[in-house]
Structure 1
């Protein structure tokens, strides 16, 4: 091998491909794409990765951390442009090279969510690319609240305007993630009066729509998304029946199934099963859901999402769970890329997009450099 002025060589680290873990390997990229992955080191690389890992960039299909940048504390609202930029920096520093911002199309003022805010944020995410200062590939995940007709209309328009992923959500008291009043109060950490008012709003909204209408709205969204090759996820599948219904209307992904049994059923139906990386890092669910680590051991988890903590994706890769490093990488790179229909990335292979991260494993995994389409977008100090 020889250096080429138009090529960049990263050598000396542990290179992880979809099929191999290569010690002292070399990854070469040029013009935004990977040119070669070699099983031997280069004497004079552009980047010496000795002692580090060379991995494909992480792909996050569900991250709602943008909300924490918009509303860092109660009563404080950050300008959307600034919040999106800060979120972009945080994801680049976490090794996430393709980010699906999970935006909630629902009206919950106490939770700083509104359909109008979702519309505006969606527009800015669509316009936020490398030309306008973005570091990573920012994409739009529209979370559609099916109990709200205005949300369904807004998401339908969003699909026509160019969304990237849709999830079907039904926030109904006593069901799904809202099973039990204590769970709701803990989730939103709100005073009793606010909690009671929020529950009454949810119950009123739910009482105005029938189960038949919920199904019809879900099918409307799924059919429209399918016509534009946009994948659809069902969120918080609670029962085997609910995941059966999701598969029947053409849903592709079961996102955060609420029991092990439901995850098993989704797997049997050939749905892609997504769970939270924070669940793996924490060692269990925060809201009494299934243990993601155990679900991984049982073969019913395909991909991990950051949920609200971007750093959790990288951390999950270095948590041994009776599986290989290759398998752990697949869940945060190749598999989510395939689920989203992004077959140009998510792997270190010749011809793939040069989304590459260099990771220092000690004392805790941290990003040394992040490349997106061959451009360095983050370097640690």
Structure 2
């Protein structure tokens, strides 16, 4: 940890307002926030200081480990490359999403996921990573091997979140078979007959495995400090199922109906930052902007583009009437931290961890100038 650090003459994004002033950091914690121009400390020249971003669901790590079909990179080197991009995007806490349950056509295996999990844990222990890393298990509950993979991982202390997902055609993310075909038929280069067989098998696996796997994972997570998320809920029945499973985070709901019902049930609603930045869902589902306009958006996730998290945190207040900059920044800092049970970060307040990001706004795109984790500059 650092000794004392003073960041002065910054536009500081506090939980409820933006002030011009200074942040004093001692021994890795925020010691003081004061308003006004100062002559001491490191001059931020009016740039923004925001809390370090908290990312709950990114599977971006896979692109570093398997950059091409059939190619595997050294897992520790892959984790370091991923970590460098995460930190340079202003993310100081990240939940790396690893798959539990593999599709028949998947290039990656459960063994690959185990290697990545080991690399994350070992690299964190060795102090070679810039951000703090936890593990988020993406549980494809329709897959026959989902529960076996989950059981192999769940004793790791780094496992802090699990999402229950089912990507079978005709429901949830892919209620539109046309969109499903656009995504999978082209990706797998299947003719129409092969694609129909592929869909039938996915539906069969879902009907056979999903409910029992959801129940088993929910039960195994209870009391183990593992936050449960439900993925791509589309109907009231899906939300009722999530409530019964003890879910606290609604990840990427695909309809307004499901998002509103999830929020009413006390779940935090999480949507993709790429969805908000692009102006819509790539799957044709409800947009993050629409949920924000309805006051039903709590958390943003970078998903597959790390830098989109910072973009969206600033952009949402520009796009949506009634959403202030502190509220937009909270969607990528305080709100995800609270949803994950991390009460020591996500806001610039005395006593909180000094995870801080210096941001300059240039040409409408935020530019990360400095990133501090517990008062130590990491990017």
Query: What's the TM-score, normalizing by structure 2?
Result: 0.92
Closer, same or farther: CA 42–10 of 1 in aligned 2, 3 Å: same
TM-aligned CA deviation for residue 292 of structure 1: 0.6
What SS does the corresponding residue of 1:227 show, helix, strand or coil? coil
Tell me the equivalent position of 1:351.
Answer: 351
- Answering whether residue 18 of structure 2 is matched by residue 21 of structure 1, we say yes
> Residues 123 and 109 from structure 1, CA distance in 2 versus in 1: closer, same or farther, beyond 3 angstroms?
farther
What residue number does 2:6 align with?
A: 9
What do you get for the CA RMSD once the two structures are aligned?
A: 2.0
Q: Given the alignment of the two structures, is residue 57 of structure 1 paired with residue 52 of structure 2, yes or no?
A: yes
**Structure 2 residue 135 is matched with structure 1 residue 140:** yes
Match of 2:114 in 1: 119
- Cα displacement string for residues 119-168 of structure 1 (whole angstroms, at most 9, x for unaligned residues): 22122222221634101001100011112242212213322222111000
State yes or no: 1:273 paired with 2:269.
yes
Give the alignment partner of residue 226 of structure 2, picking from 230, 241, 255. Answer: 230
Q: Which runs of 4+ in 1 moved over 6 A?
A: none
- C-alpha distance in 1, partners of 2:312/2:360? 14
Structure 1 residues 165 and 39: CA distance shift in structure 2, 3 A: same
**Change in 2 beyond 3 A, CA 1:131/1:250:** same
Q: Could you say which residue in structure 2 is the equivalent of 1:37? A: 33
What's the offset of the Cα at 1:180? 3.7
Structure-1-length-normalised TM-score: 0.92
Query: Is 2:146–2:213's contact at 8 Å kept on the other side of the alignment?
Result: no
Q: Please say if 1:256 is aligned against 2:256.
A: no
Offset at 1:198?
A: 7.0
Question: The residue matched to 2:30 in structure 1 has which SS?
Answer: strand
Aligned to 2:377: 376
**Quick one: which of 179, 182, 198 aligns to 1:183?**
179
CA distance in 2, matches of 1:111, 1:313: 27
1: CA distance between counterparts of 2:346 and 2:164?
25
Superposed CA offset, 1:275-320 (max 9, x none): 0011111111111011111211111111000010011111012211
Rounded Cα–Cα distance in structure 2 between residues aligned with 1:228 and 1:236: 24
Conserved in 2, the CA contact under 8 Å of 1:185 and 1:195? no
Report the equivalent of 2:149: 154
Q: Is the 8 A contact 1:171 1:202 kept in 2?
A: no
Alignment length (residue pairs): 371
Find the aligned partners of 2:32 and 2:195 in 1 and give their Cα distance.
Answer: 55
Deviations 1:61-102 (A, max 9, x none): 011111222233345432222211111000110000001111
Q: SS in structure 2 opposite 1:142?
A: strand
Contact 2:144 2:205 in 1 (8 A): no
1:284 is matched with which residue: 280, 287, 294?
Answer: 280
Q: Distance in 1 between matches of 2:98 and 2:14?
A: 32
Alpha-carbon spacing, 1:166–1:191, altered in 2? closer, same or farther (3 Å): closer
Report the Cα distance in structure 2 between the residues aligned to 1:191 and 1:115, rounded to whole angstroms: 20
Could you tell me how far 1:210 is from its partner in structure 2?
Answer: 4.1
Offset of 1:178 from its aligned partner?
2.8
Name the CA distance, whole Å, in 2 between partners of 1:72 and 1:303: 29
- State which of 284, 295, 298 in structure 1 corresponds to 2:294: 298
The answer to whether structure 1 residue 316 and structure 2 residue 317 are counterparts is no
- CA–CA separation in structure 2 for the residues paired with 1:83 and 1:284: 30
For residues 156-205 of structure 1, give each alpha carbon's deviation from its aligned partner in whole angstroms, at most 9, with x where no partner exists. 33222221110001121222223344322433442532886576456435
The residue aligned with 2:327 is 327
Give the direction of change, closer, same or farther, for the CA distance of 1:278–1:80 in structure 2 (3 Å limit): same
Gaps of 5+ in 2: none
3-state secondary structure, aligned to 2:344? coil
Where do 5+ consecutive residues of structure 1 fail to align?
none
- What secondary structure, in the 3-state scheme, does the structure 1 residue paired with 2:378 have? strand
Distance 2:161 2:333 in 1: 16
Does 2:165 correspond to 1:169? yes
How many angstroms apart in 1 are the aligned matches of 2:100 and 2:150? 7
